[in-house]
Structure 1
Amino acid sequence: MIDYTNFDRVFGSMDGFPYGRKALQEADNHRRTLGGVLFIDKVLAALGFAKASKMYPPKSEAVLRDLHEQITKSGSIEDHHKLSVIFYILLDFDEDQADSFAHRAGVPTKYQIFMRGLWNMDHQAYAVALEHLAHPSLQAEFADDIVTTLVRHGSPDEDYTLPLAYFHTVQPVLKSLLAIELLFDAMVRSNVSEALAFSRTRPDAMREQLFQRLVADVLDERRGAETAERACELAALPFDAVEEGWFTTFLTTGAGKKLKVAKDTLMMRQIAVGQVSSAGEKGSWGTVMEGFKVGSGGRA
């Protein structure tokens, strides 16, 4: 077994030192993209190495040696956590070198999977990161941060496949309101029925807030013709009695009253639940839809 406290045995020759100007600039850019904190920073802070995070990425061999010493000499951190951090750093050098170290040092497989996932998150390779972070052997560590990052940065053109796949596979218990709201918004824009089901799993106070958020997002007229299609789906959802009240209140006296399509949406709902005949005095579904499209900025 390799002596992981021996810097030269771990890193070998510095001929291929990976932290050149380009690599340092990329790390700075990625850190800024992620709100000033990489996932390796979060790991180091969680392990009590907050000061060490300021040394990553190391700008010279001397800084790398200092970082390695701070990690390995700590008496309060378990060995597998130290090995995991070293494994992450070695991924910057070479994947084969990292794998060789993991084998010789006995880095537990689940820690290799997890750190490889975080490494790919920090390098904005989100699809590859998900392959590791959704592994069944892992606990949902940093789940709020992972969801937030995947929604904000791993979902180009509002394709929320990655964050939704992570959530459904891992089924983490999200703690931060930000992560919950971002995940919910991703659900609303991907599947309105799924978003409604998710809102029902929240405490009552938050549930009402999410329900209103759902209605407001679906009826956002800035989405043009898409708004009419999604509003049809919304109006046909199987609301329970409480949600029915929230829906009506939000669109008649609440913040939703200001939406241009509030009245048309209420009419669509009344038709959907049979309160108004689809061919009754107050207009057919088709007539309401035409008016709705005009109100939402779509074509009549």
Structure 2
Amino acid sequence: MFDFSQFDPVFGSLDPFPYNRGFSQKVDASRKTLEGSLFVDRVLKALNLAQAVNIYPPKNESALRQLHDQISNSNNITVHHKLSLIYYLLLDIDDLGHDGKAEAFASRAGIPDRYQIFMKGLWFMDQLNFELALEHLTHPSLVSEFADDILTVLVRQSKDGDYTLPLAYYHTVQPVLQTSSALELLFDALARSDVPEAFEFSRSHADVMRRRLFQKLVLAVLDSPRDDDTAERAFELASLPFDPDEEMWFTECLESGEAKRLGVAKDTLLMRRIATGDSSFRGEKGTWAVVLEGVKKGSGGRTQA
């Protein structure tokens, strides 16, 4: 049986030593981008190997040997977890010019495919290659470990209002989120991407959180650059089938709550009155066009109606 606790058979020749100064600088930059911790840091801490975080990335072969020793000789983690962490290190070494070590190790050590897929997905997250990371982390064989952290990073790293990656992860994996911060970040992404879906998502939560999410939806829709898309999303919001509680929250939010400060608050309330068939607007030619234009411009254009 292959003895993975022996350094030389695992790592072989490392001349020149692959973990150079440039790689260490890259790791420092990635840690800052990834909320202060790499995903391998998170794995090490979850496995009670927090001291190993201080060694990664290893500055020399002696440090790499120490890191390997801490992983392979720990009494508190399973063999598969040890093998997975060593596999992660070998992915680094492959990327730094020693091709083939990771896959050869996985084959010799018999690492199950799902462990390889998961660790490679986390490795791509640490490389900030989020698209390739999701190709692995959405694999059907995986459970949704570190889902809160993955979603948090993907939402915060989304550019120009494009939440394709975090929503693809959420819709594919359907994780049960453990923290309110991750939940609210996901909801922000939903609210800025699909108003009806965000509305239904808010309804899937208990009263206090449901109201909070509903109010966040109103703000996410209306506190946006004024353009045709914002006006269309405001129309979607005002046309939703609110229940009595939601009707009250909507009015309160726009009349006396956080959304009152927005220039489109009164226009949006008018839009809701029209959508619900307020008799004072029946037959008034062009009302929708005028209100939509008010929302688009943020002018409060029909505030005296």
- Alignment TM class, shorter chain as reference: over 0.9
Report how far residue 224 of structure 1 moved: 4.2
CA contact (8 A) 2:227 2:297 kept: no
Structure 2 stretches lacking a partner, 5+ long: none
Tell me if 1:180 matches 2:183: yes
Report how far residue 172 of structure 1 moved: 0.6
Deviations 1:131-184 (A, max 9, x none): 11111111110000000011111x222211111111111111101111111110
Q: Which residue of 2 aligns with 1:76?
A: 76
Aligned residues with identical type, % of pairs: 60
Q: Which residue of 2 aligns with 1:244?
A: 247
CA contact (8 A) 2:268 2:295 kept: yes
1:50-199 alignment runs, 5 A limit:
50-94=50-94, 96-153=100-157, 155-199=158-202
- Give the distance between the partners of 1:11 and 1:276, measured in 2 at CA: 78
- Give the distance between the partners of 2:150 and 2:11, measured in 1 at CA: 29
RMSD, aligned α-carbons: 1.8
TM-score by length of 2: 0.92
1:8-87 alignment runs, 5 A limit:
8-87=8-87
Deviations 1:96-127 (A, max 9, x none): 21011001001111110110000000000001
Q: More displaced, 132-141 or 242-251?
A: 242-251
- Give the distance between the partners of 2:226 and 2:293, measured in 1 at CA: 16
| Amino acid in structure 2 at the alignment position of 1:108 | P
| Amino acid in structure 2 at the alignment position of 1:142 | F
| Amino acid in structure 2 at the alignment position of 1:13 | S
Tell me if 1:270 matches 2:273: yes
- Please list every run of at least 4 consecutive aligned residues from structure 1 whose deviation after the TM superposition is greater than 6 angstroms: none
In structure 2, relative to structure 1, the CA distance for the partners of 1:221 and 1:2 (3 Å cut) is closer
- Give the distance between the partners of 1:297 and 1:263, measured in 2 at CA: 6
TM-score by length of 1: 0.94
CA contact (8 A) 1:225 1:293 kept: yes
Report how far residue 283 of structure 1 moved: 6.8
3-state SS in 2 of match to 1:156: coil
In structure 2, relative to structure 1, the CA distance for the partners of 1:262 and 1:276 (3 Å cut) is farther
3-state SS in 1 of match to 2:4: coil
CA contact (8 A) 2:294 2:300 kept: no
Structure 1 stretches lacking a partner, 5+ long: none
Tell me if 1:211 matches 2:195: no
Report how far residue 276 of structure 1 moved: 3.8
Report how far residue 280 of structure 1 moved: 4.0
- Give the distance between the partners of 1:92 and 1:67, measured in 2 at CA: 14
- Give the distance between the partners of 2:300 and 2:252, measured in 1 at CA: 24
Tell me if 1:255 matches 2:250: no
CA contact (8 A) 1:221 1:296 kept: no
In structure 2, relative to structure 1, the CA distance for the partners of 1:231 and 1:276 (3 Å cut) is farther
Q: Which residue of 2 aligns with 1:232?
A: 235
Deviations 1:264-284 (A, max 9, x none): 101111111112465545971
